[in-house]
Amino acid sequence: MSRRALVPPEQTHDNILDVAERLFREVGYGKTTVADIAQALGMSSANVYRFFASKADIHNAIFTRTVAGLHAALRDAAGAPGSAADRLAGVIHTSHRLHRDLFTDQRRVFDMVEAAMAENWEAIEAHVAAVQAIIAGVIADGIAAGEFGPGDPDGLAAAVLDGSCAFMHPTMIAECADKPDREAHLARLLWLVIEGLRNHDRTPMP
Amino acid sequence: MSRRALVPPEQTHDNILDVAERLFREVGYGKTTVADIAQALGMSSANVYRFFASKADIHNAIFTRTVAGLHAALRDAAGAPGSAADRLAGVIHTSHRLHRDLFTDQRRVFDMVEAAMAENWEAIEAHVAAVQAIIAGVIADGIAAGEFGPGDPDGLAAAVLDGSCAFMHPTMIAECADKPDREAHLARLLWLVIEGLRNHDRTPMP
């Protein structure tokens, strides 16, 4: 029995992700091969392929792990004390900051997300749906409390998310990395959106 | 005196832009050189450089010409009859459709805009400022008429524009080219934004 066989499979699985994530960041997603990842782990490419069908598959798993941390932070913001308006603003500001930290402090991660958009579209869609569900929960609370006007929480959350694109989307984050006052601009937009959600004349969303 | 000398300079200027625009679309911005443009016009590169300092300069002039047409359409929408809310929705929908036609029907133009972002940032900023001014004019009318709550029209217009990013920005337009129901999603967002502008409790924007 070789020494390597003593490592539990779930540990090898996580080790592959850790090493791949580091290589994707340091070398770039495009320039890293499955053979590079295997070599860094002292294993064969065939062994990596026992865990992941492709580099895209590895990438997808790293992406899922990263967004799980992001969703946990957003759920914390959504569950904070305060009005629905404050909690909604907290969720969007937190999401903006976490996206900004991901896409400006670690420029290589940007390549990864570009790759994800090309290769793992379902993972991105699942991520967006999860964020939208967190926002919809806060909006539903606001509607139930009479703080927001009536409406379909999911549709309203989708509109809020569409409206937040400039402060969430990786490409937009990267493009605006050098612009000052992004948080103040987001606060201004959130003021407008929250005034809209209050919807004092109680007209239904079309 | 050569035959070419009979062409008025302003005509040569426009001819360079026409031919360059066609080549940028057909061949791509990156792959087209000033020498290619000169050759297509049967003139020397030196003659092209009498009119434009660089390919980026030519690109900038084409960009300016294209957005002038776009601004004219937006001013028409802003000046249409109806409430400020209807006119604002008209401006944003028109802008979305014109951007979509530019960036999905002519995929090569997308390269041009990417190049513009890298090379002619001032032209982009001037374009955004012009669109923001048109939106601010409609919002100012709405505030003056009591249709919208009080506020700084420029700041509110900037927030509306930030919020419309998903439906305006070339990268976003290209990314969403295959998604259905974009106009319905924009209508939903505009409903939220316009409810916000109505700002029935008349709280000032932060």
For the question of an ipTM over 0.95, the answer is no
- Confirm or reject contact between A172 and chain B (CB < 8 A): yes
Instruction: Please report, for chain A, the start and end positions of each structural domain, with discontinuous segments joined by +.
Output: 3-51, 55-198
Tokens of A65: 């792990």
Residue B119, classed as helix, strand or coil, is helix
B91: part of which helix (H) or strand (E)?
helix B84-104
Cβ separation A205–B192 shorter than 8 A:
yes
A27 torsion bin: left (phi>0), alpha (psi -120 to 50), beta (else): alpha
Cβ separation B195–A203 shorter than 8 A:
yes
- Which of 3.40.50.11900, 1.10.3720.10, 3.40.50.1820, 1.10.357.10 would CATH assign to domain A55-198? 1.10.357.10
- Confirm or reject contact between B196 and chain A (CB < 8 A): yes
Q: How far apart are CA A29 and CA A111, in angstroms?
A: 6
Q: How confident is the model at residue B199 (pLDDT cuts 50, 70, 90)?
A: confident
Q: Decide yes or no: CATH 3.30.160.70 for domain A3-51.
A: no
- pLDDT for B18-67, tens place per residue? 999 889 888 888 899 999 999 999 999 999 999 999 998 898 888 888 88
Q: How far apart are CA B145 and CA A36, in angstroms?
A: 66
B106 torsion bin: left (phi>0), alpha (psi -120 to 50), beta (else): beta
Cβ separation A200–B198 shorter than 8 A:
yes
Contacting residues of B for A199, CB less than 8 Å apart:
195
> Contact at 8 Å (CB) between B164 and B131?
no
- pLDDT for B116-140, tens place per residue? 677 667 778 889 999 999 999 999 9
- Confirm or reject contact between B70 and chain A (CB < 8 A): no
Contacting residues of A for B200, CB less than 8 Å apart:
198, 200-201
**In CATH, what is the architecture of B4-51?**
Orthogonal Bundle (1.10)
From the first residue on, what is the mean pLDDT of each consecutive set of 10 residues in chain A (206 residues)? Answer: 68 94 85 96 96 91 88 97 97 94 64 69 86 98 96 96 93 80 94 93 79
